[in-house]
A and B are shown apart, each in its own frame.
Chain A
Amino acid sequence: MAIKDPELQHLQDSSAFADEVSEGRLVTEQMLLNVGPQHPATHGVFRLLATIDGERIVRAEPVVGYMHRGYEKLVEQRDYRQITNLISRMDWLSGINNELPLALALEKLMEIEVPPRAQYLRVALAEMNRILNHLMFFQSFAAELGAITPTFYAFREREDIQYAMESVTGGRMHFGFFRPGGLKEDVPKGFIAMALASIRKVIERLPDYEDLLTGNEIFKQRTINIGLLEKEVAYAYGVSGPIGRGSDIDMDVRRDEPYLVYDEFDFDVCTAPHGDCFDRFWVLLHEIIESAKIVEQALEALPPGPILGKVPRVVEAPKGEVYIRTENPLGELGFYLVSDGGKRPYRIKIRTPSFSNVSALPHVLRDTLVADMIAILGSFFFVLGDVDR
């Protein structure tokens, strides 16, 4: 039997081996387990090199870049209007939220004023997309732990909301709807009623889903005190969004530095103190309720008026730099836009939430069990497009 571990080489000789075992010590070797890049539990092509000792992970190192498309280079060679559709495909579960920082950055640099109707509608659509995103992660987390049924309930709820968004934008996942200055077009008749009805259905059924999982003893055993992420570590890695708030980081761009018209709405920011999988999941579920509140307030107070401000014929940002950040469903999405005049950006640094969140994984995965690794990966709510850009 060939022993690969250098520390145990002295046991190659079988008599030494017998001595070692008979003295009451069990000889074990660490195994290098490759989780991914193709694996059902990692949402997408994500590879985790785990060194395991039995069922315990000694060290886990994520290997990313399988989906790297070079966004930061691609946007340097595109017109500002062409970029909108491109960047929508980063975090593909929050399509419309990805278009927002670019529109906001251009509006700031070009000093364009956006009419209130457009602002309210932007808020409503962005929050509806947030609900879609959170429902998706709700079901994927449950499915990874073995509860396959919530998947179908979540997709049933998503269907209605996606239908409403399709009636406005024409898309179910990638929208291409936000323009610098406002929206592409106004909403059709009946949209408000449809949107409100779909949101209310979600809220009605949410307590059931919560009970189904958070009340379940097995679920609690699999998630409480698993995958602890301490607050200071989270700050150092730049962890934001539901994951950060699950570690007691009380940060929400919508409340701290309101963009669009978020300062006119009444909503709470949910945080949870422990930083384990259960807390992150709990924050996710409760954010759905808060988003629904915002959508209701936005659509009920929707003012009439134009949906596009005064935008010059050619979209050319003046010289300057600005960092605009928004609260993407998964965390803080920021665009550092460097413009030197001209129709194309000089450089956009895209700060994606999942990149920072996933970089905290090695810390969280130390000394956990293999089965817990799946729960932790699921509770980290990341999208590969966001990690790899």
Chain B
Amino acid sequence: MDIDLTAWQILIVKLLIILTVVPVGALIGGYVLHKEMAHMQHRLGPMYAGGWHGWAQTLADGIKFAYKEDIIPASADRRVFSMAPAVIFVPVLLLFLVIPIDRTLIIEDLDVGLFYLLAIGSVGAIGVLMAGWSSANKYALIGALRSAGQLIAYELPIVLSAAAVAMLAGSLSLVTIVEAQDWPFILWPPGIGLALFMLFILGAMAEMSLPPFDMPVAESELITGPFTEYTGMRFIFGFFFAETAHMIAFAGIGTTLFLGGYKPIVPWGPLEVIPGIIWFFVKTAFMIFLLLWIRFSFPRLREDQLQKFAWKFLIPLSLALILATGAWILYGPGG
């Protein structure tokens, strides 16, 4: 079947796909978050909304937030305050453009896909600063400054580990990176693969301000940090959606870079029948589970300890790993 669409129509279809899939994904992700956290804490989680085990809980929350009054503090900087959530949320949406769900199922297969991901991912830091500064609230300001420092510091482990992966695959295009991966995925090159994966996870957790790196939004100190003054839809889009969608995006990116994306786990005959999409979702679900698991288990690092950890340990480690990867490529097996 040949569908002939003009470039504009294709663009609109792609936008619609993102604008529906991502929020729905965030809703499901939020539900998973509630349930996983609940069961790990010896309780049940949402049970009532929607009837069966509270499946409509996040949907109900979203609708509730839509009804809330939009309050902007009197001494806040109105324009910056209103724009900040957008600056945080839109880049997260754009991350989904290049993640390959299957060999041919990708919104836009950019040749510099990885570079695009890393660049777009860092724009959110500005949004956080905007939110904190314009709120005219001392706690929000403290949260924003902590956040800015943290986001900048932890960009590097992500960038460097992704760069190492690109070196191993020989390309920045995400589809090529997935194709270049083979069983046993992160266990190869030995040691280096696992270390890179760990770096990526730690960097991703810090980028998303998840515990143990959630100083900026430390609930017991700063309420919600830079987003304290936000209500209603601005809060939902800037904070909750962004965080959940961001988590899904990073899970997807992690799957693509390290776990083999849409490839079956083991190259064994019967498993190859299962379509790539399923594999991708299984692996992404595993990554999300892992991120959430770490989230509920640890107390939070203090900001200066967090920075020390990044600058004195993670970054030197990632630089060392880049060197090791380079050495592996030149002198290791496979040439």
Contact = CB atoms under 8 A, between A and B. Distances in A.
A–B: direct contact at CB < 8 Å: yes
Given A218-B298, A221-B301, A149 B41 contact: yes
Contact of A374 (B42, B138, B139, B220): B220
Contacts of A213: 299
A219 B221 contact: no
Contacts of A40: 219-221, 223
Contacts of B305: 221-222
A146 B294 CA distance: 12
A156 B301 contact: no
Given A33-B138, A40-B219, A146-B220, A369 B42 contact: no
Nearest to A35: B221
A302 interface: no
B302 A142 contact: no
Interface string B293-326: 0001111111111000000000000000000000
Contacts of B298: 146-147, 216, 218
Contact of A156 (B42, B139, B214): B42
Nearest to B38: A152
Nearest to A372: B302
Interface string A147-191: 111011100100000000000000000000000000000000000
Contacts of A109: none
A149 B296 contact: yes
B68 interface: no
Given A152-B42, A371-B215, A222 B299 contact: yes
A267 B59 CA distance: 54
Contact of B297 (A33, A55, A144, A149): A149
Contacts of A216: 298-299
- Identify whether the interface residues of A are mostly helix, strand, loop, or mixed: helix
A55 B218 contact: no
Nearest to A212: B297
Contacts of B79: none
Contacts of A142: 299
B203 interface: no
A142 B2 CA distance: 60
Centre residue among A213, A372, A374 by max chain B CB count within 10 A: A374
A152 B43 CA distance: 8
Contacts of A222: 299-302, 305
A383 to B, nearest CB: 17
A144 B42 contact: no
Contact of B300 (A41, A146, A149, A370): A146
Given A31-B138, A40-B219, A40-B220, A371 B42 contact: no
A142 B41 CA distance: 14
Given A146-B211, A152-B43, A153-B42, A371 B299 contact: no
B294 to A, nearest CB: 11
A70 to B, nearest CB: 31
A29 to B, nearest CB: 12
A145 B296 contact: no
A262 B75 CA distance: 60
Interface of B: 40-43, 138-139, 142, 211-212, 214-215, 218-221, 223, 296-305
